[in-house]
Amino acid sequence: MVETARRREIEDAASVLFRQHGYPATSVRDIARALDIRGASLYAHVASKEDVLWSIVDRVARRFERAASEALAAAAGPEDALARLVRAHVRAVTADVGEASVFIHEWRHLSETRRADVLARRDAYERRFRSVIGDGIAAGAFALTDPALAATFVLTALNGIPTWYRSDGALDPGSLADLYADLVVRSLTEASP
Amino acid sequence: MVETARRREIEDAASVLFRQHGYPATSVRDIARALDIRGASLYAHVASKEDVLWSIVDRVARRFERAASEALAAAAGPEDALARLVRAHVRAVTADVGEASVFIHEWRHLSETRRADVLARRDAYERRFRSVIGDGIAAGAFALTDPALAATFVLTALNGIPTWYRSDGALDPGSLADLYADLVVRSLTEASP
């Protein structure tokens, strides 16, 4: 097996364990056991447990960043941009709910420097939502509200998806993306009296 | 110190530790150390670590249940009911963000029977949101959408509050309650074309 495939296998096994038990409660030995290899063999592929978490978190962060960039590049106006951002986020989460869950809930366990990197990227990601909402308010398309609070409201709802979504359930990712985009765009849109 | 006061002191110290490190990573010894007493002394007041978690979870669950009942009793129509449910939930969370966080994130670590009890009560609580949303759709006040999915959307956004809200921050609980109620009611309300 080539090194990258082995490495990815390790990350996938770790991802399942991190999600299930949390990063602190998962040991390198647990990861090795899940792959039926010895802890020492695992260290031939990864430098540390934190290194594995970083690979997962960085990969998922890139997926979200790319999805948001594509959404914004294709958008026509603030309402369309917000709907596209939401659909892109839902698709990025549902592409791998387990990994997304590790990204959302376990990144705080990274070492200082990496945590700062992720925090800055999360802030930049959230600013994209905030900025689209601010644009919509300025254009009169959205209700007068606090763009930062509205972005937090939207992103916490989106980040809750891994806590309840089942990829083998009745709701397919596309329908979820559309329904959530509708809820979010309406949440910013004043109903005419 | 009377027994109930001592017991509450133990629960408050445990709540801080459960929130910070998670229930599994917190030991009875950690709780005792936070209170500057010995582990053995702690057992004079509580039967087990799980017993402490149960007291916290049950107390917060009651707070949410009471708040929702009062909200619904006072409501005039589905829009008002939904706004009142949201404001009541936000106020129940912000009343003690730490405890609310333990309730939301750590209840799964309870023993089988207690977990089943909490799950049933969480379901009943979510049904109140679903039912108000369903009523609003039936009455033509809300947009045609899936009431269960909309309730999940709303409750995940609300349950995200302890991850970011700071009681010493600029946003007071009342303003947060009003702004979130507006976002939620709008999210269900079709803008006229």
Tell me the C-alpha to C-alpha distance, in Å, between residue A46 and each of A8, A32, A61, A70: 10, 11, 20, 32
Reported confidence tier of residue A1, pLDDT bands at 50, 70, 90: low
Distance CA B142, CA B158 (A): 20
Quick count: other Cβ atoms within 10 Å of Cβ A38?
12
Does B53-188 carry CATH code 1.10.357.10? yes
Going A103 to A107 to A109 to A113, the CA torsion angle's sign is: positive
Distance CA A60, CA A58 (A): 6
* The predicted structure's pLDDT at residue A193: 56
Q: Is A126 helix (H, G, I), strand (E, B) or coil?
A: helix
Going B125 to B126 to B131 to B137, the CA torsion angle's sign is: positive
Burial class (CB in 10 A: 0-12, 13-18, 19+), B18: buried
Q: What angle do CA B145, A95, A86 make, to 5 degrees?
A: 45
How many CB pairs below 8 Å do chains A and B form together? 89
Tens of pLDDT along chain B (193 residues) come to 577 888 999 999 999 999 998 898 899 999 999 999 988 888 989 999 999 999 999 999 999 999 999 999 999 999 999 999 999 999 999 999 999 999 999 999 999 999 999 999 999 999 999 999 999 999 999 999 999 999 999 999 999 999 999 989 999 999 999 999 999 999 999 876 5
Burial class (CB in 10 A: 0-12, 13-18, 19+), B140: exposed
| A156/B152 touch (CB, cutoff 8 Å), yes or no | no
- Side-chain half-sphere CA neighbours of B168 within 13 A: 0
Most B-contacting residue of A165, A183, A184 (CB-CB within 10 A), to test interface:
A183
* The predicted structure's pLDDT at residue B112: 96
Residue A6 has pLDDT above 60, yes or no: yes
- Determine contact, residues A146/A129, Cβ cutoff 8 Å: no
Residue A2 has pLDDT above 80, yes or no: no
Quick count: other Cβ atoms within 10 Å of Cβ B61?
18
* The predicted structure's pLDDT at residue A130: 98
* The predicted structure's pLDDT at residue B64: 97
* The predicted structure's pLDDT at residue A132: 98
Q: Which CATH superfamily is domain A57-188 in?
A: Tetracycline Repressor, domain 2 (1.10.357.10)
Instruction: Give the minimum alpha-carbon distance from A15 to chain B in angstroms, rounded to a whole number.
Output: 18
Residue A159 has pLDDT above 70, yes or no: yes
Quick count: other Cβ atoms within 10 Å of Cβ B58?
17
Distance CA A130, CA A188 (A): 12
* The predicted structure's pLDDT at residue B191: 79
How many residues are given for chain B? 193
Percentage of chain B lying above the pLDDT 70 cut? 98
Residue A62 has pLDDT above 90, yes or no: yes
- Determine contact, residues A185/A82, Cβ cutoff 8 Å: yes
Comparing CB atoms, the residue among B163, B171, B183 nearest residue A150 is B183
Q: What is the DSSP string of B159-186?
A: HTHHHH--TTSSS-HHHHHHHHHHHHHH
Q: Tens of pLDDT along A72-110? A: 999 999 999 999 999 999 999 999 999 999 999 999 999
Instruction: Give the minimum alpha-carbon distance from B190 to chain A in angstroms, rounded to a whole number.
Output: 6
How many residues are given for chain A? 193
- A contacts of B150 (beta carbons < 8 Å): 183
- Spell out the alpha helix ranges (H) of B96-160: 97-106, 112-138, 147-159
Joined together, the tokens standing for residue B129 give 């949101």
Which sequence spans correspond to the domains of chain B? 53-188
- Determine contact, residues A183/B187, Cβ cutoff 8 Å: yes
Distance CA A103, CA A23 (A): 11
pTM: 0.93
Q: What is the mean pLDDT of chain A?
A: 94
* The predicted structure's pLDDT at residue A40: 85
At position B91, the amino acid (one-letter code) is R
| B183/A145 touch (CB, cutoff 8 Å), yes or no | yes
- A contacts of B180 (beta carbons < 8 Å): 153
* The predicted structure's pLDDT at residue A4: 86
| B188/A186 touch (CB, cutoff 8 Å), yes or no | yes
Give the range among A3-12, A130-139, A152-161, B120-129 with minimum mean pLDDT. A3-12
Burial class (CB in 10 A: 0-12, 13-18, 19+), B44: exposed
Q: What's the complex ipTM?
A: 0.92
- Determine contact, residues A128/A68, Cβ cutoff 8 Å: yes
